[in-house]
């Protein structure tokens, strides 16, 4: 297990969710991720799907932002675009001041499946990125060893992926994404394939890791508990075409633990979020039915 090193990011404040930004967030000058008027349209046999529709958002350095919304509302498409994986698009995406036109080593990505190299040990999976970026073997392995320590898998450094549990593999995938010391970590339902118990442990691990690496994280999830527990802000997306419906600031003190999940105030806020998502989900379903 990862050593506990909690640094409260914000002063203790009452439990509440509030609208994060009364003004368009894209006006913030020091954002590390800036999305301006982004639209992404896919050609499909029946015409076009507007996956993302004129979305603007900004993420500050060190922020943890979750994207939630009904299935098919464009969360993954938006995240992929931030990773430079989705072209062409209309609008503009800049990360650390540079336009996102292709994947970059300063932006790490973690998917629902770990996608590890099956023929490489844990250590070499994690060392792969630094090696590819020209680090010496010694340096790359040193980086890998530090991260293996951080994710609590020291005993498994020489193990091969197929011998690890799903949660352990996903920890390796996160370490591999961190090996290039990304300024931004993009995570697409990284715990979506895990059982509930492993998922809860992984959420705790990520909270601890995040305090240690201080990376900016954008996190896609279907799970509103997960979003509120982990995030500084939760962006709720609307059904197709994909738009940001609400931008909610999670004013919960850090360090956080799953104990907050039973707090009555938290539960009331969760209910508000779920109502919004349910309404959007119904709309998405009705739209799908109308098309098919």
Ligand X SMILES: Nc1ncnc2c1ncn2[C@@H]1O[C@H](COP(=O)(O)OP(=O)(O)OP(=O)(O)O)[C@@H](O)[C@H]1O
Binding to ligand X (CB under 6 A) within 152-211 occurs at none
CA atoms within 13 A on the CB side of 285: 7
CA distances from 199 to 2, 98, 107, 173 (A): 15, 34, 24, 15
CA distance 123 to 230: 27
* Closest CA relative to residue 114, chosen from 177, 35, 180, 46: 177
Question: Would you report the helix, strand and coil content of the chain in percent, each value rounded to 5?
Answer: 40, 25, 40
CA distance 203 to 214: 16
Which runs of consecutive H residues, i.e. helices, occur in the chain?
Answer: 75-82, 122-132, 137-150, 166-178, 196-213, 224-230, 264-291
Contact between 218 and ligand X per CB under 6 A? no
Binding to ligand X (CB under 6 A) within 99-118 occurs at none
Out of 4, 24, 42, 195, the only residue in the binding site for ligand X (CB under 6 A) is 42
CB of 152 to ligand X, least distance (A): 29
Out of 27, 71, 136, 158, the only residue in the binding site for ligand X (CB under 6 A) is 71
CB closer to ligand X out of 161 and 242: 242
Out of 32, 34, 64, 75, the only residue in the binding site for ligand X (CB under 6 A) is 75
CB of 34 to ligand X, least distance (A): 20
Contact between 274 and ligand X per CB under 6 A? no
Instruction: Give DSSP secondary structure letters for 163-183.
Output: GS-HHHHHHHHHHHHHTT--S
CA distance 40 to 55: 10
CB closer to ligand X out of 71 and 214: 71
Q: 């509120």: which residue's tokens?
A: 228
Pick the piece of the chain touching ligand X (CB under 6 A) from 65-73, 149-157, 176-184, 226-234.
Answer: 65-73
Contact between 66 and ligand X per CB under 6 A? no
Out of 38, 72, 108, 224, the only residue in the binding site for ligand X (CB under 6 A) is 72
Contact between 269 and ligand X per CB under 6 A? no
Pick the piece of the chain touching ligand X (CB under 6 A) from 8-16, 70-78, 144-152, 264-272.
Answer: 70-78
Binding site for ligand X (CB under 6 A): 42, 44, 49, 51, 69, 71-77, 240
């Amino acid at each position: 297990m990862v050593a506990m090193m909690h640094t409260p990011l914000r002063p203790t404040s009452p439990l509440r969710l509030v609208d994060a930004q009364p003004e368009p967030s894209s006006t913030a000058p020091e954002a590390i991720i800036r999305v301006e008027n982004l639209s992404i349209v896919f050609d499909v046999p029946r015409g076009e799907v507007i996956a993302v529709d004129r979305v603007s958002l900004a993420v500050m350095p060190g922020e943890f932002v979750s994207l939630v919304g009904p299935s098919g509302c464009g969360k993954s498409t938006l995240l992929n675009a931030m990773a430079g994986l989705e072209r062409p698009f209309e609008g503009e995406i800049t990360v650390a001041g540079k336009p996102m036109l292709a994947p970059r080593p300063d932006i790490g990505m973690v998917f629902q499946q770990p996608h590890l190299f099956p023929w490489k040990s844990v250590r070499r999976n994690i060392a792969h990125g630094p090696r590819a970026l020209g680090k010496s073997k010694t340096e790359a392995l040193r980086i890998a060893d530090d991260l293996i320590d951080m994710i609590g898998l020291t005993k498994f450094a020489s193990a091969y992926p197929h011998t690890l549990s799903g949660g352990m593999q996903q920890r390796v995938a996160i370490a591999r994404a961190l090996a290039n010391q990304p300024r931004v970590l993009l995570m697409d339902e990284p715990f979506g394939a895990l059982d509930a118990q492993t998922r809860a442990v992984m959420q705790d691990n990520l909270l601890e890791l995040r305090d240690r690496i201080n990376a900016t994280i954008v996190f896609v999830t279907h799970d509103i508990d997960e979003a509120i527990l982990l995030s500084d802000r939760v962006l709720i997306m609307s059904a197709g075409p994909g738009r940001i419906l609400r931008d909610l600031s999670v004013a919960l003190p850090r360090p956080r633990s799953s104990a907050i999940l039973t707090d009555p105030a938290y539960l009331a806020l969760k209910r508000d979020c779920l109502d919004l998502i349910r309404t959007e989900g119904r709309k998405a379903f009705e739209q799908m039915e109308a098309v098919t």
